[in-house]
Amino acid sequence: AQSVTQPDIHITVSEGASLELRCNYSYGATPYLFWYVQSPGQGLQLLLKYFSGDTLVQGIKGFEAEFKRSQSSFNLRKPSVHWSDAAEYFCAVGAQGGSYIPTFGRGTSLIVHP
């Protein structure tokens, strides 16, 4: 069964600082990997996804993530955080083939200090 671990429940950064949110997955083959963001009162929005090919993927809002098979990781990064980035971030893994049903991590809450 696939699973996702987001080891950090909360991350606090200063506005303008760089950001890295950690995600580790468990899956027997190469998975589909995703990062979603959820702002208060809003639905989940897809930031970026990895299916195959280039292991560094670019997403919306200046985010990027790197797939590292050897570490079973898919960490999310942003070089300079804006106050509007404060939100809940979820990493998800989906099995290739079949129904593709994303399994989500518990999320990391990003707090941005001015």
Partner 1 sequence: DTGVSQDPRHKITKRGQNVTFRCDPISEHNRLYWYRQTLGQGPEFLTYFQNEAQLEKSRLLSDRFSAERPKGSFSTLEIQRTEQGDSAMYLCASRAAARLGEAFFGQGTRLTVV
The residues of the shown chain that bind partner 1, judged by CB under 8 A, are 4, 6, 9, 32, 34, 36, 41-46, 49, 51, 90, 92, 94, 99-107
Tell me how far, at minimum, the Cβ of 70 lies from partner 1, in Å. 23
Nearer to partner 1, 94 or 112 (CB): 94
Q: How far apart are CA 114 and CA 96, in angstroms?
A: 41
Q: How far apart are CA 14 and CA 24, in angstroms?
A: 25
Nearer to partner 1, 38 or 72 (CB): 38
Q: How far apart are CA 8 and CA 109, in angstroms?
A: 8
Largest Cα span, the chain: 45
Nearer to partner 1, 40 or 114 (CB): 40
Tell me how far, at minimum, the Cβ of 104 lies from partner 1, in Å. 4
Tell me how far, at minimum, the Cβ of 28 lies from partner 1, in Å. 18
Q: How far apart are CA 28 and CA 36, in angstroms?
A: 22
Assign 34 to helix, strand or coil: strand
